[in-house]
Amino acid sequence: MFNLNSIIRPNILALKAYSSARDEYKGSEGIFLDANENPYGSLNRYPDPNQLTLKSMLAERSAVKKENVFIGNGSDELIDLAFRIFCIPGKDKAFTFSPTYGMYNVSAAINDVELIESPLDSEFQINLNLALATINKNKPKLIFICSPNNPTGNTLRISDIESILNSTNGIVIIDEAYIDFSNSPSWLTRLNKFPNLIILQTFSKARGLASARIGIGYSTPEIIALLNKAKPPYNVSQLNQKAAIQSLNNEAQYQTNLKLIIAGKKQLELAFRQIRSIKKIYPSEANFILIKIDNAELVYNSLCNMNIITRNRSAIIANTLRISIGSKEENEELINALKTL
C-alpha cells in the first residue's frame, strides 16, 4: 500500500519551508520595502516564487488544478529535488532502465543514492518480469521511466508502466520530455488515478526554450507541496516565466515548429535509408533519431571536423549516433556530409 508520509526523508517531513516576502504579501501594487530589493531598474524585483500565471495556464490546458503543477529550473531540477525529498543518502535506492537519460544516474550519484539499472530488451522495451522482480527485491524509493526514451527514441509499453505503477510503494517518475513529438498519449490524462506518479515535461524541446530552463512536474497536490517546500524560493526567473507564458500564448508558432521538426525527421529517415553504412534507423517518437552506423566513432569525429556535432552513443549502444532533427538546411548539410564519408 502506497503511503506517502512513510517514504519521505524525515528531515524533509519535519522541514519548515522558507517563507519569502512575496509569499506573505500577495498583491502586486504597493511600495515594496520588504525584500531588500533595489528600487531602480526593470529586473530589480524578485520573481513570483509560485509562478502562478504560468501554472494556471498549464493547468487549464491539461485539465488539472494548479495545485497539480510544479515549475522547475528545467526538469533536471525536478530530478534532483526528487532524490533530495525521498532518498536518504547512502541508504535508499532508485531504479531505472538502461540505456536511458544520463541525468538520473548523475543526480543519484550526487545524492549518494544507488541507482539500479534494468536493461531494456532488444526492442528497447521493458522486460517486465525482470523489472518487477528487481523492484520487489530492492524496494527503490524512486523509479525513473523515460518515454519516449532518450537515446533510443521509442515509447515504452503503457501496460508495462502501469504494472510498475501498481506494484511499487515508491514514486514513479515518467519523463515525457519528448511527448509532443509522439503519437502516444501523455500520462497526464491518468494523473488522478495514481497517488505515486510524477510526470515530467519540459519547454526545452518542442517549445524551443532550452535556454530558458523551464521544466514541469505534474503530480498530486501532496507531492507538489513537497517539491515546493524543498525548492529554492525563487527557482525560476521572471524572464524565464515570461518566455514560457509567451510560448503558451503563441500556439501557432509551436504547431508550425512541431510540424517542421516532424517533416525534418521524415527527410532524415528517407535520406538515411540511402546511405549504405547506416545499418539501422531506430523508430523514433522524439526529435532525434538513433542510427547504427559502421565505424560510428570515426563518422562522429569526421562530422565534428566538418563542424557537424552529433551525439556518439556507442559507449552505451554499440556503433550508434543520436542525431537531433535540425532545420531543413542543417539536415541537408548533414546528409551531404554523411555521403562524403
Ligand X SMILES: Cc1ncc(COP(=O)(O)O)c(C=O)c1O
Binding stretches for ligand X (CB under 6 A): 74-76, 101, 146, 150, 175, 177, 202, 204, 210, 215
How many residues does the structure list for the chain?
A: 341
Closest CA to 155 of 100, 219, 217: 100
Q: How far is the CB of 250 from ligand X (least distance, A)?
A: 19
What span, in angstroms and rounded, lies between the C-alpha atoms of 176 and 181? 10
Closer CB to ligand X, residue 146 or residue 188?
146
Cβ proximity of 148 and 181 under 8 Å: yes
**Whole-number minimum distance, CB 101 to ligand X, in Å?**
4
* CA 341 – CA 337 distance, rounded (Å): 7
Of 307, 339, 340, 341, which is closest to residue 326 (Cα–Cα)?
307
Going by C-alpha positions, the residue among 202, 285, 199 that lies closest to residue 247 is 202
Instruction: Give whichever of 146 and 161 is closer to ligand X, judged by the CB atom.
Output: 146
Nearer to ligand X, 98 or 169 (CB): 98
Q: What is the C-alpha to C-alpha distance for residues 51 and 23, in angstroms, rounded to an integer?
A: 11
Which residue has the closest beta carbon to ligand X? 74
146 or 165: CB nearest ligand X: 146
Non-local (6+) Cβ contacts of 290 within 8 A are 151, 152, 153, 282, 284, 313, 317, 320, 321, 322, 323
Give min distance, CB of 127 to ligand X, in A: 20
Report in angstroms how near the CB of residue 293 gets to ligand X at its nearest.
Answer: 21
Closest contact distance (angstroms) between CB of 238 and ligand X is 18
The nearer residue to ligand X, 179 or 299, going by C-beta atoms, is 179
Residue number, 22 or 77, with CB nearest to ligand X = 77
Nearest CB to ligand X, comparing residues 312 and 338: 312
- State how far the Cα of 101 lies from the Cα of 58, in Å rounded to an integer: 25
Residue with cell 509522439: 182
Alpha-carbon torsion (292, 295, 301, 304), positive or negative:
negative
Smallest separation (angstroms) from ligand X to the CB of 1: 30
- For residue 104, the minimal CB distance to ligand X (Å) is 9
